[in-house]
Structure 1
Amino acid sequence: MSTANLIAQVLEWMPFVLEGFALNVLMSLLAIAVGTMMGTFLGLGQLSPGWVVGAPSRVATQLFRNAPWLVLLFYCIFLMPFQITIAGSVIQLPSWLRATIGFSFPVAANFSEIVRGAVRSVPHGQWEAAEALGYSRRETLFRIILPQCITRMIPPWMNLYALLLTATPLAMIVGVEEALGRTQAAVQAQSDSRVLIPMYLALLTMFFLYAWPINRLSLVLERRFRTK
């Protein structure tokens, strides 16, 4: 097979693989959204002085942060129902959606640490100054501390999203037809081992072209915010 024919075969299967890559992107966007919301509550919970809120938040953060992503994925895929009934309506929960929920747990745990670290990085003198001005702890946190933390959290949050995107191919193991699964199906359909490397190289290029600008932008923002 000539190089031209090899390239033509790869290009022929690209729309099929790109549809799977779109599912990777969708899962990553939903997981980062859900994980960010959950992680914000967990992070603020870790900062709580009371053990009723603080202890469970710290335990949940460490549990999901240190658990293998694939194990959490298996739990959500096989323990969550395939469908739920709400007000008499049956709602299907496809594999990709359950996998997205599985990805959101480690994302939440990692973002929880980002929130906790950002708040801890603010000089303690600001807490004391706000207390001297009559602010409550809640008012100090939401009106003085957290607004300063946003710029500190954005770069690591973007890096977390890039990491999440590169982890989404794990969903292929539990039956989700995303980019990696479609690439494997395309290679098997052609029955020619010579297309294996070009097909997976094309897949690698997709993820690189999507994730690399995110990483570069996070570095730019990190340098910019550091100077302020």
Structure 2
Amino acid sequence: MAIDSPAIAPLAWPRRHFGKVLLGLATLSWLVYVAPHSPVLKALLQWSPALAAGFGQNILISLLAIGLGSVAGLLVGAMALSPLRLLRWPARIWVQVFRNAPWLVLIYFTTYVFPFEIRIGSTYVAFPDWIKVTLGLALPASANVAEIFRGAIASIPSTQWEAARSLAFTRGQIFRSIILPQCFKRMLPPWMNLYAVITMGTALASLVGVHDVIDTAQIASNTVNLTGFTVVIYLSLLVLFFAYCYPISRLTQYLERRYAFY
């Protein structure tokens, strides 16, 4: 049976048009709650700058978390591939612990294990909660990046290692000139997918007092105190996160198809 036959096409339709369906439902819900209540729309417009600033805090946390996690993850991944057991076993323990730990537990851990301020000489420097949340998200990010790196290395055919050794390349030269350039293309799609997940995980920051977009929405909801406004503002957050993460997901799928044969 042909792939585009009427019996199969309807089954494939929801997956292809999931984003359009979600946006359509969001628009319909928006009209249901906003159209009959003009104060809801007015309040939402008033709180829009604060929501945008709060979402900027979420994006900042996600960028720093994935940055720190990537640097630490590459180091841990390199240690996990070391022939020395003294380096290999701590790296494997790190990966297993932080890949399987609940993110909320890690965020609470970093929030309370680090001090609220750091003393440098006679000066006290504040250690804000959003930095602690960044570190809490960077821990699972590092473990996942280490696994992505290990998987990329393992996917390189062993014949390339053997051919490079036959040409008298050292282990360092093989990594720098042959293995790592190929690993970058293999790592990029899952790394981008991980960043999208980290971005959605920043919604947990409000639970430890970070003034992000979720905390702003809660303050706005309590201030306006309208059921319709509460529904609309959280629906707006759904659309906001979706609009930011969905293009990343689509780009990830494109890169997976493009680098499928590398």
Normalising by the smaller structure, the TM-score range is: over 0.9
Q: Does 1:27 align with 2:67?
A: no
Q: Which amino acid aligns with 1:210?
A: Y
Q: Pick the structure with greater CA Rg.
A: 2
2:6 corresponds in structure 1 to none
Distance in 1 between residues matched to 2:206 and 2:239, nearest whole Å: 18
Report the identity percentage: 41
Shift of 1:142: 2.1
Deviations 1:115-169 (A, max 9, x none): 0000000001111111111122222122211111001111100000000000001
C-alpha offsets along residues 6-54 of structure 1, whole Å, 9 cap, x if unaligned? 2222122111111111100000000011000000011111111211111
Q: Could you tell me which residue of structure 2 aligns to residue 191 of structure 1? A: 225
TM-score, normalised with respect to structure 2: 0.84
1:106 is matched with 140
Indicate the SS of the match to 2:259.
helix
Q: Distance in 2 between matches of 1:90 and 1:143?
A: 46
By how many angstroms is 1:86 displaced?
3.4
Aligned to 2:42: 8
Aligned residue pair count:
228
Aligned to 1:222: 256
3-state DSSP class of the match of 1:226?
A: coil
Q: Residue 165 of structure 2 corresponds to which residue in structure 1?
A: 131
Match of 1:204 among 235, 238, 250: 238
Say whether residues 1:115 and 2:127 are aligned partners.
Answer: no
Superposition misfits of 4+ residues, deviation over 6 angstroms: none
Normalising by structure 1, what TM-score? 0.96
Cα root mean square deviation, aligned? 1.3
Q: Look up the match of 2:182.
A: 148
Q: Flag structure 2 segments of 5+ consecutive residues without an equivalent.
A: 1-33
Q: Distance in 2 between matches of 1:184 and 1:97?
A: 21
- Partner residue, 1:40: 74
1:81-140 Cα deviation digits (max 9, x unpaired):
112233554321100011111110000000100000000000011111111111222221
